[in-house]
Structure 1
Amino acid sequence: MNELNGKTPFFRLLLPVIGAIISSPFLSDIGLLAVILILSGALLFFLSFIRYKQNHYSQRWLFGAGTYLFLFGLTLLQCGEMRAFNSFTFPEHPNTYLAVILDIPEEKERSVQCPVLTAPPLKKKVMLYLEKSNRTTKLLPGDEIIFIAQPEPFRNFGNPGEWDYAGYMRNKGFAARDYITDSEWRVTGRRSNTPYLLAQKCRIYILNYYRSLGLEGDTYAFIAAITLGYKAYLSDDIRKAFQASGTAHLLAVSGLHTGIIYLILSLILSPLGTRGRGFLIRQLTIILMLWGYAFLAGLSASVVRAVIMLSLYCLGQLRREKTFTLNTLAATAFLILIFQPNSFYDISFQMSFTAVFSILWFHPRITSLAKPTNRGTRYLWNLMTLSLSAQLGLFPLLLYYFGTFPTWFFITNILVVPLMGIIIYSLIPLLLTGWLPEALSSFPEW
């Protein structure tokens, strides 16, 4: 803990943020308390600057206390707004609503799942399940629809030890759900164009491009998942196979995928040099292109987390900080939680940051236990210890959320992770040139 406090200033800033998120469900009047804490923090800030100018160094604690109170209050205020946004306040009778489609409609067995945001005065996220029809296949993110519904809150079945589905949907920002028939909705013809909605439309364009290349079935689903993070087309067999082998993280665009993209960009831009103005242009270009990739991948939470981490790493490189540090990880978590406190309860957020923290904390210590001299042996040892370090942190989370632990993670990660790198390296030129179907035709069907 002393190492964390001394070398990671953002870890200290993260403490009041996490404290506010954990305590917010137990507080009733969050708004008033948050305002009081913010004003108290600002007052301590002011006093600390006055005392500093008067050389009262013994009262430097005023600045730290003011920072903690201000961040605690600010996060509480965010939590209060999220609580109000996610609360169920719909009338208990059918009503007419105007809404905008927020994401790519996903076809289910008996309906089409369509997340929408209703228009003011009742601005809420609702998960609509539309009756299947020819019209539902034409819906796009950003389309405005008008519908008649009587939304209902998310509920659990009440079975002992069951998954908290209602809490999961609240953390995702949804307040209600409903099923509506084909006659109960229509498109107004108007469209919204926020950055997130534009990102979803770009994602659809790329998915359609994959289709135009002749990709079908599991091949199409797998490539859509590992390049765009879109997993709607993955079959249950593929999902279960990756989960059982401990490689399910490969199906979500996250740190591994964006790290490979970073290496490709860094290699391409290496002629710009490692110092001076050329190096500055190189790092800023990498940051812009990483965010461009995040945009094409639909600005999903996992890819945004990874791109924030790598962006901070690129900025650290400009300061000649050569390694990804715990402070960079803490800064990423701070930036996400201060704006999206509900992310703290998201399983993917917890697993992502736990895995990276565990790697940064355990990997140097485990690697130092042996020093292989052979290059191949050293690579395998490094890959094995990297996998072990990640699993040490993920072990309690996997048992808590899923009740299982992948016992084959050593072998699968040693084999599959390098293979995934080769696949992504190969996919980029093949997709850009349109030669992917010809390349796949030489391999047997999955």
Structure 2
Amino acid sequence: MTPFSGASMLPLLPFFLMYAAGLTAVFPASQQFILPFFLPVLAGLAGLFLFGRSKKKSRVQWLVLGLFLPVGLAAPGLEDRFRPANHILNLLQEGQRANVIGVLAESPKIFPKKIQYLIELETIAYGDHSQATQGRARITLYQPSNAYHAGDRLEFLRIKLKRPRNFKNPGNFDYQQHLRTLGIHVLGGVAKSTAIHKRGARALHPLFAMRAGMREKMMAVFDHTLPADASALLKAMVLGEKQFLSEDLRQAYIDTGMAHLMAVSGLHIGFVADTSYFVLYPLVFRFLWRQFPAAALAGWARKITAGSCLLPVLFYMNLVGPKISALRAGLMVILVLIAIIINREKHLFNALLLAAFAILLWNPHTLLSVSFQLSFLALLTILCAIHFAGSPVGDAVDRMGEQPWYRRVFRRNPAWQDKPHTVIDFLYGTAFVSLAATLGTLPLLIFYFNHISTVGLFLNLLMVPLASILIPLTLLGAALGMVWLAAGQGVMFLVSAIAKIFLTVPTFVASLPYTSLNVATPPELWIFLYYFLLFGLPWMLKSKSVRPRENRRWQLRKIVAAGGF
């Protein structure tokens, strides 16, 4: 049984595919992928096929399945259809100067030569006519000075607002869609700080206010306790604030395939969850063993620890903000922890599917986000690789001790079993996960960025284990520094030593020849055939429904031929 062998294993999958069919039929980029409406038809047929194979289905379920298609078709346009009359996009007069008042929704993004403000608009005035408005604007001040904080009500004088536009390069980065995914409706800019005036303040939502305050305090601790280059690096790695990085260091991380460490993702959420569990479980178990031994033997230490880990995970999710990769990872970790608490089976494929479904229902335009596609494809490939390499309980041959060749490839040497191998296991697992993620994201990296690294897989063996120490240690040092700066400095001294490795190693490796390659954009058909081979070949090898053996070999030849083509 494979994870995609039917709707019984993934009950949400047919409904998700029907919803995705509707979404891909609306967006122009997915409408014309390979052939007109190829993706919507493929997703819809796959959803019908999988639902048809499920054992329990009723007329009501068929009706609900059919309804997800029009829901997907309508979802991307709901925001425009129900836009209020006083929305900024309805009141905008491009080319005309206006006075704008709004509230700073989050801490300003400070660049070397400019500052960006995300403004929740309240009023706009063209000439003497002022009226209330709604929507979000990103306004850039082209001076590197800032005196404002989240929650401040600001007035911008004589500013020109405009709709976001692409760079007239069809097929390349969709800037307009990217800003829409972020909830930004209009753009503007002012040359001098004298065009900005503070008009009081407004209380933000407690979670938003806590996020803005904590981020500002943490970055201040970084600046006080770390060298400038290490501070910029950790702002990017821990908080996702990449604007402080130098161009050379940013390019070095791209060339060495380490840029994923700069994007707060499942790796970072996993570090927080794993560290919390590792620290809390022995304490909880020891307490229960002394006070309530029966509860300890019944497994309550595991449940209590899982519930306690929800707090640091939710805190870190709020700290980094609504980034797609962080939302995906956070939702999955939360589902797994809840499964532990309520004694339910942990099925990571279901957790991944539910996270994707929730994000696309919340914001359908996220489907076109490069971050969404890379994040979910990387984890999907990792889960498939683990499932493919693992030993299914129902396989009688495996129970007798003889594993298929394709599973033995991913197993370590049995002779190692009697030797201490904790470090070996960790490195093996890191290499396995890195290889799976690389294979899963390679076509998209080439398609979107025309750039691949030849050393990323090997460099991850060193840097990812170190990052699993650096990121939790940085969060601990920042937390201590916000309470007592001297205590934080002690931890940050060790953080600074580890950060030097992250500053020097990628820079040195990137200076070597052939560490990265620029490649041409592949045809869309190549991307489809690549994933067909990547997921189809393991599925065919693992499937037990193809008989006799000659038929299986014929199926293998067809898959390899398709991949070769």
Is TM (by shorter chain) over 0.5?
yes
Q: How does 1:172-211 map to 2 (within 5 A)?
A: 172-180=182-190, 181-194=192-205, 195-211=207-223
Q: Equivalents in 2 of 1:16, 1:394: separation in Å?
A: 24
Matched, 1:106 2:109: yes
Q: What residue is the counterpart of 1:19 in the other structure?
A: 21
Q: Secondary structure at the match of 2:15?
A: helix
Identity rate of aligned residues, in percent? 24
Specify the SS of the correspondent of 2:268. Answer: helix
Deviation at 1:174, TM superposition (A): 1.9
The CA distance in 2 between the partners of 1:386 and 1:191, in whole Å, is 46
Residue 288 of structure 1: how far off its partner (Å): 2.3
- Deviates most, 293-302 or 168-177: 293-302
Following the alignment from structure 1 to structure 2, what is the Cα–Cα distance between the partners of residues 412 and 441?
A: 20
Alignment check: 8 A CA contact 1:366 1:385 kept: no
SS at match of 2:471: helix
SS across alignment from 1:6: coil
- Counterpart of 1:205 in structure 2: which amino acid? K
- Of 427, 432, 454, 1:385 maps to 432
Shift of 1:107: 2.8
**Aligned: 1:144 with 2:153:** yes
Does 272-281 or 290-299 show the bigger shift? Answer: 272-281
Give the superposition deviation at 1:125. Answer: 1.7
Q: 2:494 aligns with which of 435, 439, 443?
A: 439
Q: Offset at 1:315?
A: 1.3
Alignment check: 8 A CA contact 1:126 1:176 kept: yes
Deviation sequence 1:274-293 (CA, Å, 0-9, x none): 84655443322211221012
Is the alpha carbon distance of 1:87 and 1:133 closer, same or farther for their aligned partners in structure 2, counting shifts above 3 Å? Answer: closer
Which one-letter code corresponds to 1:112 in the other structure?
A: I
Structure 2 counterpart SS, 1:150? strand
Residue number in structure 2 paired with 1:369: 408
Q: Could you state the TM-score of these two structures normalised by the residue count of structure 2? A: 0.66
Larger RCO (CA under 8 A, 6+ residues apart): 1
Name the residue aligned to 2:443.
Answer: 396
Is the 8 Å Cα contact of residues 13 and 334 (structure 1) preserved in structure 2? no
Question: How many residue pairs were aligned?
Answer: 412
Determine helix, strand or coil for the equivalent of 2:100: strand
Cα pair distance change 1:429/1:127, threshold 3 Å: closer
Q: Is the 8 A contact 1:144 1:192 kept in 2?
A: no
Could you say which residue in structure 2 is the equivalent of 1:352?
Answer: 375
Paired letter, 2:242:
K
In structure 2, what is the Cα distance between the partners aligned to 1:125 and 1:231? 22
Gap regions ≥5 residues in structure 2: 29-54, 124-131, 286-295, 391-406, 481-486, 504-565
Q: Tell me the secondary structure at the aligned position of residue 117 of structure 1.
A: strand
Indicate conservation of the 8 Å contact 2:303/2:341, yes or no.
yes
In 1, the alpha carbon distance for the partners of 2:499 and 2:460 equals 23
Q: How far 1:184 moved relative to its partner?
A: 3.1
Tell me, in whole angstroms, the C-alpha distance in 1 between the residues paired with 2:455 and 2:97.
52
CA contact (8 A) 1:17 1:337 kept: no
Instruction: Give the equivalent residue in structure 2 for 1:54.
Output: none
Superposed displacement of residue 161, structure 1: 5.0
2:210 counterpart letter in structure 1: L
Q: Find the partner of 1:119 among 109, 118, 122.
A: 122
Name 2:43's counterpart in structure 1.
none
> Given residue 7 of structure 2, which amino acid in structure 1 is its aligned partner?
N
Q: Distance in 2 between matches of 1:133 and 1:410?
A: 38
1:89-112 alpha-carbon deviations (Å, 9 max, x no partner): 312322232212223212335432
| CA root-mean-square deviation | 2.9
Structure 1 position 189, deviation (Å): 0.7
Query: What is residue 290 of structure 1 aligned with on the other side?
Result: 313
Match for residue 212 of structure 1 among 224, 242, 245: 224
Q: Distance between the aligned counterparts of 2:273 and 2:196, measured in 1?
A: 44
User: 1:62 aligns to what?
Assistant: 59
> 1:250 pairs with 246, 261, 271, which one?
261
Partners of 1:281 and 1:314 lie apart in 2 by 10
For residues 5 and 421 of structure 1, do their structure 2 counterparts lie closer, same or farther at Cα, with a shift above 3 Å needed? Answer: same
The farther-off stretch of 298-307 and 173-182 is: 298-307
Cα distance in structure 1, aligned partners of 2:241 and 2:6: 36
Decide whether the 8 Å contact of 1:351 with 1:394 is kept in 2. yes
Stretch moving more, 313-322 or 356-365: 313-322
Which of structures 1 and 2 has the bigger CA Rg? 2
Q: Gaps spanning 5+ residues in structure 1: where? A: 27-57
Deviates more, 1:217-226 or 1:117-126: 117-126
CA separation of 1:404/1:414 partners in 2, compared to 1, >3 Å: closer, same or farther? Answer: same
User: What secondary structure is seen at the aligned counterpart in 2 of 1:174?
Assistant: coil
Specify the alignment match of 1:221 in structure 2: 232
The answer (yes or no) to whether the contact 2:103–2:201 under 8 Å persists in 1 is no
CA distance in 2 between partners of 1:440 and 1:284 (Å): 29
Pick closer, same or farther for the CA change 1:425–1:141 going to 2, 3 Å.
closer
Letter in 2 for 1:412: L
Distance 2:274 2:312 in 1: 12
Q: Which residue matches 2:337?
A: 314
Aligned equivalents of 1:79 and 1:100: distance in 2? Answer: 27
Kept in 2: contact 1:211–1:220 (CA 8 A): yes
1:82 corresponds to 2:79:
yes
Where does residue 343 of structure 1 map in the other structure? 366
What SS does the aligned partner of 1:116 have? Answer: strand
Does the CA contact (< 8 Å) of 2:89 and 2:185 recur in 1? yes
Cα shift at 1:240 = 1.3
SS at match of 1:338: helix
Distance of 1:274 and 1:12 partners within structure 2? 41
Alignment TM-score, normalising by the size of structure 1: 0.83
- Aligned partner of residue 201 in structure 2, secondary structure: strand
Residues 246-266 of structure 1 deviation map (CA, whole Å, 9 limit, x = unaligned): 121111222112112111211
Q: 2:328–2:352: 8 Å Cα contact kept in structure 1?
A: no
CA distance in 1, matches of 2:477, 2:57: 59
Take 1:115 and 1:178, find their aligned partners in 2: how far apart are those partners?
Answer: 11
1:100–1:145: 8 Å Cα contact kept in structure 2?
A: yes
Q: Deviations over 1:358-413 (max 9, x none)?
A: 00012343572332232355544332222111111101110111012222122111
